[in-house]
Chains A and B, each alone.
Chain A
């Protein structure tokens, strides 16, 4: 590993890498949480010294404590230290709380049995118990001995009640059905009342909302106590409380009903397994509820989305343009004065240093710009002046790159930012890189040949390339499973791929060899992406943990855990301070890279999320899922602000145009669709958010926002990319 790392350092031309502390707590990944983000070498900024204590909910704190306690139990003193420092917990608090929770654990099995009779009183202790997701503890909570025959009666009693309440409350209270149904069913199964469970399921599964169909299918196959052990879905239901948002009036109504009827069974479940987020105000309508529900664990709590998010963009580094460029731009200005203007605007806004929503420039350490990066930035600005202004009347042209003869299966595609290279990941474990410009791909010469080169010559960069290896495409071998994610580094020197084999690989595009294999996810890695500033990258996979890495560290810098199912999609925020992950649990989470906290949870999708895209200004997020819908989110307010319906199959790709006017979506249904993003966001800004309650009234204007649908010839669209001049590139494999 050290050798590989050394090689990387040479290649990256970074000096003096801070060595990793080697005393990792053996195999316990949680300890990695504690490691500080090491500053990239050469950057003047020092790592922020005193990290803020996590501003999250008390639950987070308790989780931390539970982890600490676990570490202590295993005598991992060092990790305890680091974690405590990072989390900013006082030393005594640990002892105090740890003692508490240890006691709680001892009593856990007992308590969980007690909970049957002592309903509300046992609330506090069980909470502590839940922080240890130990299977046995979790399961034992179900060992209640109610009369199995009565479950159906209870449930239908509640159903009758809810059907009889006023219309305005009915929709809200109906939310209770699904979690209640699942928990009652699981209780029956756990207590070996197999036949009753079956009857219960058949009787009431039809009542559930259609978007829970997938979960119900899993549930239906689970008919025995033995099945419950090791079943993810079950553990998810138990370890995380299902969150419901209900107005105070409706809640009172429900509470009164259950208490009047002495309906303890249901009341217990509500108390123990549900989190009811009560708000004051008007009850929500059915459509409002449907828009937000659908995730595995209910809606997001309101306070989960309260944290401040610095969604603004970082100030662009000032690069003095060379003189000849100025001349050229002056010409442009004469020729096309209109096009120059918007660029000036954008420049102006960037140079406005005090964007209140932008994070400080040094909030997370970013790599310093190299000369080549500066050149690239200059190129970027030149191209930007030639950018086409898009809009409903000025739609982009779409160039479609079809992968022909890809019988093995194309699984991932990426374009470089300057659109000069295309990389494809395939199901046969290969990665292929194509050059789409006349410039061919060349390897660097071998070490022996490099020795012969005159290092002083001006064209040394040209001379190191081996002309004999020039070709339009190169194949990279190394993975041992389908390649599911692929991402170019912003400087086009590296390529990142992740695969079913559980590794993420970093490839050099100079030598076309593999530099590092990052191991950590032991399960398939579904997606990976470089940060827009390079150096960092994010990955997520079947193990439900998203990891933040730096290219020169072979272990992750941050681990983001919280999703209840596979992480299917990961993206960096344009300012590199945040990452967003989409998951099969049908939620989207936004994570703060600095603190590792989850700062936003977005619910509303009804299927696994396969596509995510930030708007260029960093304010909005678009997400696409297997249900064929695109949802738009306001990051600052933490609200859903739009729904774009039209696709009929999984959306695999989303991209905003360079100025954010158009949103393009590509799908398995062989279409590229263009949406009017400006209109979607403008309509919104005139509305005043009822942010206090977090309600939104979504108008169904998908048809107005849809600007175009372009059908390909049996070619699913799996990647989209806007060139710097706003030409849309799409890619997919033709499969006859």
Chain B
């Protein structure tokens, strides 16, 4: 420790001081902690003397005078700052934004101090803060890892070697829209473009509009002219597509509504992930809305399903700003939910699945796009409620309305659906037990009934105190009461079971460790932070399931995973993934080339900030929970699965992840 060897402090035994200093300097946590705090205003930040005492104790110096502590802490703080400043040089020359332990090692070498060997950390600062017993501590969190777990898991992939890849960043001044380039207009810019031009183009109107209206044309024009001088007008965005884009559009739309399912999956994948589609967005949106208009009239269920899947893919694409096109997309989606007839043979075709799917889409868009200005959610709710209340509404539309409302969440169910259970029950009773009117009505009533039971049971299970008395239920909910009661009881037992399960099989993966692999019940998820190719989304967790079971095997029960991402950021999401290789009507997994590709984008967990840019990144925890197969009898039981957290955080993932169902529906339908 030569840098401070010369400094002999005037109080206490110098030898012991040096020892302490050495201990402090070799404590990587402090170095990193100091390096971390690069606040602009840090005039005289000094380590607390308590830390000095703690460290002195840790090397066996019991009684340290207060003065010595002060002197030590000042000295050590100064040296640490010096080292941190040198370390910054290495960071700059290393062309990084993040200070690493290597930089600190190099800075120590510069001062002729032995580096801190064996302390490597690429990603984050691995110590935790704790307080207790009147003391505050930072400690290094090292988890105990079961060796057998590691030995038994398959080896991680060997990291790829450095390689070069060339692409065009710009061709004669224009940046091509290829996956290697960032989306030409980031979402924010698209937003600005869709909101700001209004202001720019008619600034006079914006200001005067509320008071004077358009009456004073002359002054408005005058103001406009003045403003023009000040504000640079954006050139009107061109709506011409390049030849490549036209080709792409043609290919994609053809594949999306064509007959080849593999091609469709690819096309949807492209829509959902490719950046730079925003120029084609108006075309896609028109394509969808026109398509729905035509196919509803022709009752072409398959095409409607395809179009809805396109809507979903568009919504999944993180680079698109869809707000501009909601006026086209929402009516199309709503049509698919509530239309009286969606298929040629309503008694046989499963148009209910389409309604469910579209309802989930609707709920998702309400969640993402509803603002206080556009009020999408309340307008949609009003629309659904109105037609549901109408006596003459057909069963199909009725089903759609209820599905649409139910998807909006537990609150909506509680306030809008539960009070009407009695009335609805009576209506169902009339059809079921009354004179046979038509088969179609009967099927409709049957579906509405199961829909109501499905959605309401979980909500009631939460808001209604036990015990569940059948008679009481009948009084409260009329015809549906007894059935509801049994459903509620089932939901309760599942919740209890689930709670136990959580305790038993919780497994935490710390993301930055690539070696840990989770393997449970035949399904293995491997966290691979090293994405091999530039195109893949960073920090995506891929849950891989083995190839679907061979026909000879008894089909394994579908297993459900709940992936909870807990992070320091404000957003905490929960996602329910159903990896089903055996649902009754889903031969689709075999048509899609690999299960991974369908699932991969589904489990995208994004913490609040962009990955990897900030110095200290909140650690993400993935808790993978395996549910008993009985819980998977219906997907919609998910709300009973997490009774505690469901009320606080909305489940948004339910529909997003449920791809296995929609293709199932599609293959069922006649072509």
Q: Which residues of A contact B (CB under 8 A)?
A: 198, 201-202, 205, 213, 217-218, 220-224, 226-227, 229, 394-411, 422, 424, 426-427, 432, 434, 436, 473, 481-482, 484, 500, 523-524, 526, 542, 566, 568, 584, 608, 610, 626, 649-650, 652, 668, 672, 674, 707-708, 710-714, 716, 718, 728, 730, 733-736
Contact = CB atoms under 8 A, between A and B. Distances in A.
Given A481-B106, A610-B92, A736-B612, A223 B164 contact: no
Given A404-B160, A716-B95, A399 B169 contact: yes
16 contacts: A201-B43, A220-B44, A224-B74, A224-B78, A396-B173, A400-B167, A403-B163, A411-B95, A424-B162, A481-B106, A482-B90, A524-B93, A584-B89, A708-B173, A711-B181, A736-B611
B116 to A, nearest CB: 16
Interface stretch (B191-199, B458-466, B468-476, B529-537): B529-537
Nearest to A410: B95
A222 B78 CA distance: 7
Contact of B530 (A407, A411, A500): A407
Interface of B: 6-7, 40, 42-44, 74-75, 77-78, 81-82, 85, 89-90, 92-97, 102, 106, 110, 122, 159-173, 175, 180-182, 530-534, 538-539, 611-612
Given A221-B81, A434-B164, A213 B40 contact: yes
Of all A-B residue pairs in the complex, the 7 with the closest CB atoms, nearest first, are: A395-B173, A736-B538, A398-B169, A400-B169, A398-B170, A221-B81, A405-B160
A711 B182 contact: yes
Nearest to A708: B173
A628 to B, nearest CB: 13
A316 to B, nearest CB: 30
Contacts of A733: 95
Contacts of B102: 427, 482
A436 B180 CA distance: 19
A584 B85 CA distance: 12
Contact of A566 (B44, B89, B97): B89
B90 A404 contact: no
B111 to A, nearest CB: 10
A226 B168 contact: no
A198 B90 CA distance: 30
Contacts of A422: 164
A608 B170 contact: no
A568 B172 CA distance: 33
Given A224-B75, A432-B162, A708 B182 contact: no
A224 B539 CA distance: 47
A718 B92 CA distance: 11
Contacts of A568: 92-93
Contact of A223 (B44, B95, B159, B173): B44
Contact of B164 (A229, A401, A584, A707): A401
Contacts of A718: 95
B169 A406 contact: no
Contact of B180 (A396, A402, A707, A735): A402
A409 B82 contact: no
Contacts of A397: 168, 170-173
Contacts of B90: 482, 500, 524
A389 to B, nearest CB: 12
A612 B126 CA distance: 38
Given A227-B78, A712-B169, A523 B110 contact: yes
Given A482-B94, A566-B89, A736 B539 contact: yes
Contact of A713 (B159, B171, B180, B611): B180
A526 B182 CA distance: 31
Nearest to B170: A398
Contacts of A500: 90, 106
B573 to A, nearest CB: 21
A321 to B, nearest CB: 31
A404 B181 CA distance: 14
A733 B165 CA distance: 10
Given A402-B164, A403-B162, A524-B106, 15 more contacts: A220-B42, A223-B74, A227-B78, A395-B172, A396-B173, A397-B170, A397-B171, A400-B180, A402-B165, A404-B164, A404-B533, A426-B162, A427-B102, A566-B89, A713-B181
Contacts of B533: 404
Contacts of B75: 224, 226
A223 B78 contact: yes
B93 A405 contact: no
A462 to B, nearest CB: 26
Contacts of B182: 711-714
Contacts of A205: 43
A643 to B, nearest CB: 21
B165 A401 contact: yes
Contacts of A398: 168-170
Given A406-B162, A523-B110, A668 B97 contact: yes
Nearest to A435: B164
Contacts of A401: 164-166
A394 B93 CA distance: 34
A205 B532 CA distance: 49
Contacts of A730: 169
B1 to A, nearest CB: 14
Nearest to A394: B172
A607 B40 CA distance: 15
Residue among A213, A405, A711, A734 with most chain B CB within 10 A? A405
A668 B95 contact: yes
Nearest to A202: B43
Nearest to A718: B95
Nearest to B4: A226
Given A652-B95, A712-B182, A405 B43 contact: no
A540 B284 CA distance: 57
Contacts of B175: 710-711
A384 B534 CA distance: 34
B89 to A, nearest CB: 6
A226 B21 CA distance: 16
B668 to A, nearest CB: 40
A411 B164 contact: no
Contacts of A708: 170, 173
Residue among A198, A426, A736 with most chain B CB within 10 A? A736
A524 B164 contact: no
Contacts of B122: 407
A733 B534 CA distance: 11
Contacts of A409: 94-96
B165 A404 contact: yes
A405 B159 contact: yes
A651 B93 CA distance: 11
Residue among B110, B164, B165, B166 with most chain A CB within 10 A? B164
A395 B102 CA distance: 40
Contacts of B530: 405, 407
A515 B162 CA distance: 25
Nearest to A719: B95
A407 B122 CA distance: 10
Contact of B44 (A198, A410, A482, A672): A198
A405 B163 contact: yes
A387 B317 CA distance: 41
Nearest to B171: A397
A408 B162 CA distance: 9
B74 to A, nearest CB: 7
A513 to B, nearest CB: 21
B81 A402 contact: no
Contacts of A426: 162
A220 B43 CA distance: 5
B166 A217 contact: no
Contacts of A674: 173
Contacts of A221: 44, 77-78, 81-82
A217 B74 CA distance: 15
B496 to A, nearest CB: 42
Contacts of A707: 173
Contacts of A198: 44
A91 B167 CA distance: 64
